[in-house]
Amino acid sequence: MDVPTPRDDDQEPSLFRVTDRGRRALRHAQIVLGLLAIAVAVLVGGAAAAQQVVPAPPPGTTLVAAELLEPSPLPEVAMLNSTLTTRARWTAPGGAQHTGQLPVVAGLAKGDHVPVAVDAGGAVVDARVGTADPLRAGLVAGLSTLLACWAVLALAVSLCRSRLDAIDAEDWETGWARVEPEWSGRA
């Protein structure tokens, strides 16, 4: 009966099969690539958060900041009523103070500022001028990138492992076919 011995060309004598060493290399690659995916996701999220775009106000208007005098309705109310308004105060380009109801998004606190387009007299022309929340955009982009990278990595690792398992099964069948007649006493 043959006893497994290390090959002379092995750097480090071991009884590990080639597939065992392949699995170990695959685990190391999986860890490194998983950490690299985190770094890529942070970069993508940071880039998305830095892309804060403020739409231009309509021609002949000025963009001013309106301060909310009361909190906007909760997000639960927004599911029932798509048009939410909150009392706010803003200063016209001429310096006059104005107070009125403005359409807003849900969940804003008292004292928050929202951009509003007003005409020269201070009348609201377009209260829906706004900016995307850069933190939310960055988090969504970063987490989406991370999940996509990890999903691709998991698929690749699964395919590699299934191939290594198939090689092991084939080696086992070949070895058993060679040893079984002697082991069972049929030879």
pLDDT tens sequence across 66-84: 899 998 877 776 666 666 7
Which of 83, 80, 81 has the alpha carbon at shortest distance from 127? 83
Q: Return the exposure string of 56-70: e unless at least 16 CB atoms fall within 10 Å of the residue's CB, then b.
A: ebeeebeebebebee
CA 19 to CA 164: how far, in whole Å?
A: 6
Q: Does residue 142 or residue 123 have the better pLDDT?
A: 142
**Between 129 and 97, the higher pLDDT residue:** 97
41-59: pLDDT as tens digits: 999 998 888 876 666 667 7
Query: What pTM did the predictor assign?
Result: 0.54
Domain ranges in the chain are: 18-49+136-184, 62-131
Q: Is the pLDDT of residue 161 over 90?
A: yes
Residue 129 is predicted with a pLDDT of: 46
The rounded mean pLDDT for the chain is 83
